[in-house]
Amino acid sequence: MSRRRDPFAALAPLYERFAGASDTTALRALLGQPTEGWLADVGGGTGRVAVALRDLARQVVVVDPSRAMLSRAREKASLHLVRAVTEALPFPDGSLARIVVVDAFHHFADQDGSVRELWRVLAPGGRLVVEEPDARRLPARLIALGERILGFDSHFREPARIAAAFAALGATVRVESSSGLAAWIVVEKAARS
């Protein structure tokens, strides 16, 4: 998403009402054990997922380029907020133990640049989980059509293509699909020896 126009500005006040509560059961299992490090919810908007994952990390940060969405996240306790685009994350190399990207990858303006940047900030021994509508399924294609009608510049990728982009950087990657709409791309960075 570009910093120039914020398509989420009008959506922010209503987002959680339409998105509903976040069921993080599968996401928690894929993220693994709690960590003493930081967890980042990249593209985390209102923080609805991050707030449900607070117990998995010492600190939780919501990263999003939308000022309006982050203003909603500010209403939740115990979250750090960072306004940034995914292609230029303001974190040192290897500084995030866990990263989640939930239903946001298709909004990243530069998806390949975002993959490189997410990999850069993931700590050795860390894990990143991308939860994304599976572009191979009809419901995801209908969501893509709806987002285009609403003026979003969304680009849905098949899970295997997202996984391949991380694997090309040296990640250990697996793809898991649900019986519903979502696919999870689980990315692991080897611990330093």
- Within 38-109, residue ranges assigned H as helices are 67-73
CATH number of the domain bearing residue 27? 3.40.50.150
Alpha-carbon distance of 136 to 138, in angstroms, equals: 7
- For 112, the token pair is 């390949």
Is 57 part of any domain? yes
Is 7 part of any domain? no
Domain that holds residue 175: 15-188
Is 4 part of any domain? no
Is 23 part of any domain? yes
Query: Edge-to-edge strand order for the sheet containing 122-133?
Result: 80-83, 59-64, 38-42, 96-102, 122-133, 182-188, 172-177
Band of pLDDT at residue 2, cut at 50, 70 and 90? very low
Is 6 part of any domain? no
How many domains is the chain partitioned into structurally? 1
Q: What is the pLDDT of residues 27-84, one digit of tens each?
A: 999 999 999 999 999 999 889 899 999 999 999 999 999 888 898 889 887 899 999 9
Is 8 part of any domain? no
Q: What is the pTM of this model?
A: 0.86
Is 63 part of any domain? yes
State the pLDDT at residue 131.
Answer: 92
Mean of per-residue pLDDT scores for the chain:
86
